[in-house]
Amino acid sequence: MLTHRTANISLLVMLAAVWLGHNLWPVLPWWVILFPVILYLAALVWGAVNIQSNFYIPALCAARTNEKVIAITFDDGPLLKHTPEILDILQQEQASAAFFCIGNRIGGNEALLRRIDAEGHVIGNHSFSHHFWFDMLGSGKMLAELKQMDDVVESVTAKRPRLFRPPYGVTNPDLAKAITKGGYTPIGWNIRSLDTVAKDKDQLLERIKKGIKPGAVLLLHDSMEVTVQALPLLLQHLKKEGYRIERIDKLLNIPAYA
């Protein structure tokens, strides 16, 4: 498996091979010298944006099972515009989900966060700010953000999240250190709905349906109107296909709170 560690080792091996080749053949093509570095940088980028790769840190992205069971997760709430509608739909269909919340969106929405908890859904950590440059922070500042988010959730629900989903799903060495030091369980997905760019509910549903399989973890956002439109149809489709919707902590057999 390609990880940050094995990529570092591979780079050293390739550089050693280039050095040896240069000694044997003093005039090497420029691309031979640059190739190991380019390949290494490509691996770093691929690992950062592909949470399922487990490149920097192992993330739980699905369950290994043949049973028809699936977990549904929502990122970026809580928001007054769409989160209540999604909760209404889940309640009507008697389905549980996980909400990976942004800490700075909880202020003023405390009642909504309490409703998420009271109706049996999991509250996860999605950072405090979800800032565009979050991935550029040092590990200490990242961990401070995660703990700040925990503090807000605990002050409202008396529960401290243990499950963490990185903003944008991006990982790097500093975030890996913060996750490990904070004792978090990193959570990914294996169905990326792309509901943030979907043109309509039918397009969204078709994309999701293609990825449905036993043990899947679905990524949605409770910030999107199209998600509200598609959710009832999705839940009905899953039940028709014989799938059971399970809370992610139960699906993966992990504790949701510290």
Task: Return the SS3 of 222.
Answer: coil
Cα-to-chain-centroid distance, residue 60: 9
Q: Are strands 98-101 and 244-245 parallel, antiparallel or unpaired?
A: unpaired
Question: Angle, to 10 degrees, between the axis of helix 110-118 and the axis of helix 139-157?
Answer: 80
- Report the alpha-carbon distance of residue 191 to residue 211 in Å, rounded: 6
- Annotated catalytic residue 221: yes
Q: Which of 82, 121, 126, 221 is catalytic?
A: 221
* 161 exposure class (CB count in 10 Å sphere: 0-12, 13-18, 19+): buried
CB 82 within 8 A of CB 229: no
Q: Which of 128, 70, 121, 132 is closest to 99 using CA atoms?
A: 121
187, 188, 194, 195: CA torsion to nearest 10? -20
- Annotated catalytic residue 131: no
How far are the Cα atoms of 52, 97, 228 from residue 64, in angstroms, in the given order? 14, 19, 29
Q: Which of 4, 75, 82, 249 is catalytic?
A: 75
Q: Catalogue the active-site residues.
A: 75, 221
